[in-house]
Amino acid sequence: MGGRVLLIEDEPNIIEAIRFILSRDGWAVDVHSDGATAIDAVARRSPDVIILDVMLPNRSGYDILADLRAAEGTRDLPVLMLTARGQKQDREMAERYGASRFMTKPFSNSDVLTSVRELVGS
């Protein structure tokens, strides 16, 4: 398949794991760890899909998502939302802010892979 994935996440071990899983499947994975500059990173990398963590240093994932949905070029960009606070209202928040898909940590590797594939394929 192949395509560009931008992973916005700050936990080193999780970055390592996701990078490994997606690279093995042929995806080019870019990583960005700071919430404040995430939008710039999206503009610079122009990814096919974004994996976005909620709890980021300096800026919340929801705010980043809201900005992406408000901007012309990224309105329809597929975003896979990840959160470690797997509560009901987090899922609702993600849907309200316009996440394409929502997953709670810990996740299954195959689910991540399937989700990314489906998001880019659609």
Partner 1 sequence: MLTFNLLVAVCAAYVGFLFLVAFAAEKRARRGRAAWLRSPLVYTLALSIYCTGWTFYGAVGYAARSGLEFVTIYLGPTVIMIAWWALLRKLVRIGRTQRVTSIADLVSSRYGKSTALGVLVTLLCIVGTTPYIALQLQSVTLAFAVFSPTEAVDMNGTALWVALGLALFTIVFGTRNLDVNERHHGVVIAIAVEAVVKIVALVAVGAFVVWSVAGGTGDILRMIEASPIAEYRVQPERWVTLTFLAGAAFLCLPRMFHVLVVENSDERHLATAAWAFPLYLLLISLFVIPIAVAGLAVMPEGANPDLFVLTVPLEFDREGLAMLSFLGGFSSATSMVIVAAIALSTMVSNHIVLPIWLSAGQGGATVSGDVRNVVLLARRMSIAVVLGLGYLYYRFSGGGEALAAMGLIAFVGVAQILPALIGGIFWRGATRIGAGLGVSIGFAVWIYTLFLPSFGVGDVLSAATFEAGPYGLALLRPQALFGLDGMDPLVHAVFWSLALNTGAFVLGSLLSFPHPLERLQGATFVNIYRYSDSARGWGRSFVEAEDLLVMAQRIIGPMEAQALFVSVAAEQGKEGYLPDVTPEFLERLERELSGSVGAATAHAMLGQITGGVTVSVEDLMRVADETAQMMEYSSQLEAKSEELQRTARQLREANAKLTTLSIQKDAFLSQISHELRTPMTSIRAFSEILMDGDQMNRADRRKYSTIIHDETLRLTRLLDDLLDLSVLENGQVTLNEAPATVGAVLDRALAAIESRAEPGSLKIRRERAREDLPIYTDADRLAQVFINIVSNAQKYCDAEAPELRIAVQEIGGSVAVDFIDNGSGIPKASQALIFEKFARLTDQRAAGGAGLGLAICREIMLRLGGSVDYLPGQGGAAFRVTLPRAEAMAAQ
Interaction site with partner 1 (CB under 8 A):
10-14, 16-18, 20-21, 33, 55, 57, 84-87, 104-110
Nearer to partner 1, 46 or 58 (CB): 58
Nearer to partner 1, 61 or 77 (CB): 61
Nearer to partner 1, 75 or 105 (CB): 105
**Shortest distance, position 53 Cβ to partner 1, whole Å:** 10
CA torsion through residues 24, 108, 10, 70, sign? positive
